[in-house]
Structure formats: structure tokens, C-alpha cells
Amino acid sequence: MALNRHSVPALSRRLTQSPPATLATLYLCFILSGALLLKLPLCHDGSLNWADAIFTSVSAVTVTGLAVVDTGSVFTVAGQMVILLLIQLGGLGLMAFAVLLLVVLGVPVGLPHKMLLREELNQSSYGELGTIVWLVFWVAAISELVGTLLLGFVFVPEFGPARGLWMALFHSVSAFNNAGFALFPDSLMRYVADPVVNLVIPLLILSGGLGFIVLGDLAEQRRWQRLTLHSKLMLSGTLVLVLLAWGLFALLEWSNPGTLGGLEHPLARIGAAWFQAVSPRTAGFNTVDTGQLHDSTMLLTMALMVIGGGSTSTAGGIKVTTVCVLLIATVAFFRRETVMRAFGRSFGPEDVFKVMALATVSAITMMTALFVISISHDGELADLAFEVVSAFGTVGLSRGATGDLDGLGRIVVMILMFLGRVGPLTLGFFLATRGQPRLRYPRGRVYLG
């Protein structure tokens, strides 16, 4: 039966919760289910408690990568498979998996499912949802398969065919989904000078973090002039961020014996700087000791973690396009321009309001979390701030403070990871009510600056 405009509200009312609330509930259910699976005897070596199981599940579903236990030694292969499944579900999106399953089974996708999928993929319309879902899975499957084959040249000679291919698959999926989970206690520090790891892992991070909308636009248009404004902002912003971070990291850490200075060959230092320039954009892998970074480099890393990757991607953060719009709006303000434009296109104040709200909510969330954690934990404030930003940006980089947190601190970190994945605006959306004001008030003046 055809869907007319009068049936849309009726179908919408069938949802007991708004789409953002339902998505949040789905993520919570998968987190609890993941914790139950991880606690099964066949999934760990017997040393895993409930608190660590829940924390690991939250970190995996939110594709963060913060860990309180060593993933490679505490979890068996079965446990690592559960973590990999949770990473894939959280990275590509729960509703995307559900819609794909319905399509494969031949079940029509109804409006309630489309509403949920639209919220999860951060889309404003329903028209291209089906295309985006298939694009998500094709890009993920191809990228992860190629990454597994290439990383196999590193892990198979060292660990044998079976174990080596499994480790290649695990790190490929973790990198593409910007999760940062590694099967080594030092992340990937032992491969700091390996050219394959330094090339494949960052490329997987970038391909997953650009956003499926951008990848689809590139595949369809293939010419810069025809790309959408979003794709142009995302690609140019990513290029600037990577090059700037690469150069600054190399410059700041070149002579630091605890990081780049400990590498003899200049090419190894350049490769390690490249890896560290890409990974903080929500991936969470590291090939140098994060705890040995200079304060200036630590602030640079925190800024990259806050920015994150692209919309409709596996990455977290406030997103590259958010920063681009904020900068464009700032330039327009100082030029006394009422229209904001970039690459021959313009956008309205509603986009500026959205990114301002996102940036404000993100800043308040991180500051509140840091305040709460500092009440019960007297560690270095810089280290605590690093962990807070890493959790909210769903990055996973750590300076060692997460493992030392008490129960309250870990709960705050888990909440941050959840909020960072579901999105502060999404959570605020279903709490807010829309309505037209019945009264109009006279304009007033507020003096700013």
C-alpha cells in the first residue's frame, strides 16, 4: 500500500520513543549484551571481572579503544571475536546492520526504521538511505579485506598463518572503524619503523573517517568541480589537518628521546610522525609512547581528538566540517558579511547554530566530566584532561590515567564514550520539544565583547 502524507504521523506515533532515544537504547542493549558475552568463561582467562567486562564492551561498541585490561592476553580468541563484532556493529551502525538484514530477507523497510537510520547516519532526508547503507558495507568490506591482506605480510611471518591472519583481520577492522583496539599491550609501538603498518593503518583510518557520503561522492563524480560542498570541506579540511599535524608533530618531537628522538633513521621518525598525525583523529593507535609526549604535542593531540573525522563515518569528535563552518562563520563576522560561503556555495545561519550548539555542548560535557573525575582522583590534571578528551572523542589514546581511576572515574569515562558515540546533539534532540512561540517579544540589546 502506498504511503500518503496522512499515514506518516500515524506511523511515527507507533514509536514509543523518538528516533534518537531509540538509538541510544539500542546501543545500551548491545553494550550490556556484549558485557554478558565477554564474561562467559570461554571468552577470557578467568581474571576478568564484571566492571572490566562492561568497560570493555562500552569501549568496543562506541569504537573508542580505551582499555583497562590487556586485550591480547586477557581475552581468548572467542573474546576477541566478540570485541571485533561489537566494534563492527558500533562502527558501521546498529540500524545500518538491521536495515541491511531486512533488505536481504526481502522485508520492506518501514518508516520507523528509516527514521532511526536517518538519525544514525545524520541525514536530513530519506531519499538516499538505501544507497548509503549499501555503500557503507561495500566500502567497509573492501577496505577491511585489503587491509587484512596487506597486514598479513607483517603478522603471518611473525605469528604463523592462522594467528597472523587473525591478527591482521583484527587490526584491519579496528583501524577502519577507528576503534584503536590492539592485541599488543603497547598498541603498535613495536612496529614504529615498519613501513607496511605505517602506511596501511593510517590509510584505513582515513578511509573510515572521511565519511561514506564523501566516498560515495568521489566514486560518483570523480571531478573536484562536481563534488558537493560537504565533500569539498571534508577533503580540504582533512588534508590541512593531516599535513599541519604531521609537520608540527615532527617538529615538536624530533629530538625527544622518549618518542621520535629514540629512532635512529630520519625516515622512521617521519613515518612515526605521520602515524601520530592521523591516529588521534579518533583511531587511538600509537607507535610512540604517548606518556612521553611534550606538553605542546599533547595539546596538539587533544585538539585533533576533539575535531575527529567526518559525518556519517566511523570516526567521532565534533567533526571536521563543524570546525570548517565555525571558521568560515568567524571570518564572515569580521568581514561584516551576512552570508557565509565556501567553494562557490553558501549556507545559512541554521548550520552555524547547529555547530555552535554542538561545540558548546561538547565543551560543557568535557569540562563537567573533568571536574567530576578530579574530585575523587588526584592525578596530574593534564593526564586526566587527556583521558577525558580521548573518551569523548572516542579515540582511545591514553597516558595511563584510565587504569588508575576509581569506580566513579570509570563510570564518567564510560558515559563520555557513550555520549561521544551517540552524539550530544542527538541526546539533546529527543529531550527538547519543538513549537512555535505564541508570544513575540520586543527586541533587546545585549552588549558583547
Please, what's the b/e burial string for 244-277 (b: 16 or more CB within 10 A of its CB; e: otherwise)?
ebbeebbebbeebeebbeebeeeebbbbbbbbbb
Q: Which domain holds residue 101?
A: 16-320
pLDDT of 138 over the 50 cut: yes
Q: Reduce the DSSP state of residue 136 to 3 states and report it.
A: helix
Q: Reduce the DSSP state of residue 118 to 3 states and report it.
A: helix
Domain assignment of residue 75, yes or no:
yes
Sequence-ordered list of residues with C-beta below 8 angstroms from that of 86, at least 6 positions apart, any chain:
30, 34, 57, 60, 61
Share of the chain above pLDDT 70, in %: 82
pLDDT of 260 over the 80 cut: yes
Higher pLDDT, 138 or 383: 383
Q: How confident is the model at residue 75 (pLDDT cuts 50, 70, 90)?
A: very high
Per-residue confidence (pLDDT) for residue 182, from 0 to 100: 95
Higher pLDDT, 444 or 71: 71
The residues pairing with 347 across neighbouring beta strands, listed in sequence order, are 340
- Lowest pLDDT segment from 69-83, 134-148, 187-201: 134-148
pLDDT of 92 over the 80 cut: no
Domain assignment of residue 412, yes or no:
no
Mind listing the pLDDT tens digit for each residue in 311-327? 777 788 888 988 999 99
pLDDT of 175 over the 50 cut: yes
Chain-centroid distance of CA 110 in Å reads: 28
Higher pLDDT, 304 or 139: 304
Q: How many domains does the chain have?
A: 1
Q: How far apart are CA 152 and CA 164, in angstroms?
A: 6
Domain assignment of residue 420, yes or no:
no
Domain assignment of residue 339, yes or no:
no
Q: How far apart are CA 330 and CA 103, in angstroms?
A: 44
Per-residue confidence (pLDDT) for residue 131, from 0 to 100: 63
Domain assignment of residue 431, yes or no:
no
Per-residue confidence (pLDDT) for residue 130, from 0 to 100: 56
Domain assignment of residue 299, yes or no:
yes
What count of Cα atoms within 13 Å lies in the side-chain half-sphere of residue 408? 9
Cell of 203: 590509510
> What does pLDDT average to over the chain?
84
Per-residue confidence (pLDDT) for residue 94, from 0 to 100: 54
Which parts of 24-167 are beta strand (E)? none
Mean pLDDT of 201-218: 86
Look up residue 438 and give its DSSP letter.
S
Per-residue confidence (pLDDT) for residue 14, from 0 to 100: 43
Domain assignment of residue 8, yes or no:
no
Domain assignment of residue 433, yes or no:
no
Higher pLDDT, 185 or 438: 185
Mean pLDDT of 398-413: 90
Q: How far is CA 147 from CA 118, 168, 173, 268, 408, in A?
A: 29, 8, 8, 21, 38
User: Where are the alpha helices (H) located in 228-279, listed in sequence order?
Assistant: 229-253, 266-278
pLDDT of 392 over the 50 cut: yes
pLDDT of 123 over the 70 cut: no
Share of the chain above pLDDT 90, in %: 54
Phi, psi of 341 (to 5 degrees): -145, 155
Higher pLDDT, 253 or 101: 253
Q: Give which of 376, 374, 365, 343 is closest to 426, Cα–Cα.
A: 365
Q: How confident is the model at residue 272 (pLDDT cuts 50, 70, 90)?
A: very high
